[in-house]
Structures are given as C-alpha cells and as structure tokens.
Amino acid sequence: MTKYHAVRTDGYASKTEARRAGELRLLQAAGKISDLREQVPFELIPKQVGERNVQYVADWTYLENGVFTVEDCKGVKTPEYVIKRKLMQHVHGIRIKETK
C-alpha cells in the first residue's frame, strides 16, 4: 500500500489506474484512439550545474480524433503534481487531461 492508500494492481499504481488502462486499450482496439503509450516522460526544466533535470511522467499519451492527449489518473493532487501540471502547460503548451 502506498502513502495515499492506493493498492498496486496489475502493475499499475492503483486499481483506478489499472481500470483506466484497460479502458484505453479497448478504445484503441475499437479505433477510437491511436498511438497509446504509457509512462511517457516530458522534460520541464533542463539539467543545470549541480542539479538534475525536472520531468513529468504522464500515465498515458494518445491521439484522439487527431489531437495529441496527455492523460493522468489522479486520486490525490499533490503540490508537486500541481506545479508540474502548470509547467506542462507553460513549457509544452499541453493541458493534462485528469481522470479519476
């Protein structure tokens, strides 16, 4: 069990995330989405002298009706996640689709 009481399921961080992954695989099989990828890293702040880079790792990315979508399954929105969500929009112009 994690600190937020999520139970790892089928290799995913939570039951909710495992359920959503299954839904997305079905949507891809049905042709509703394409190019489904999991755990996709995005650099938010490059490496600097004496510091590591900062990145956000999306739960999934895919194309839906030709539109690139970044999706994250969130139970708890930590302060770190909120900052990274804002940086994704500022640095990459990408608004994260949040699912529960």
- pLDDT tens digits, 64-98: 999 999 999 988 899 999 999 999 999 999 999 99
Tokens standing for residue 60: 């999934």
**b (16+ CB within 10 A) / e for 27-51:** eeeeeebeebebeeebebeeeeeee
Q: Looking at residue 1, what is its pLDDT?
A: 47
For residue range 41-55, list pLDDT tens digits in order.
999 999 999 999 999
CA 35 – CA 15 distance, rounded (Å): 23
Say what the pLDDT of residue 65 is.
94
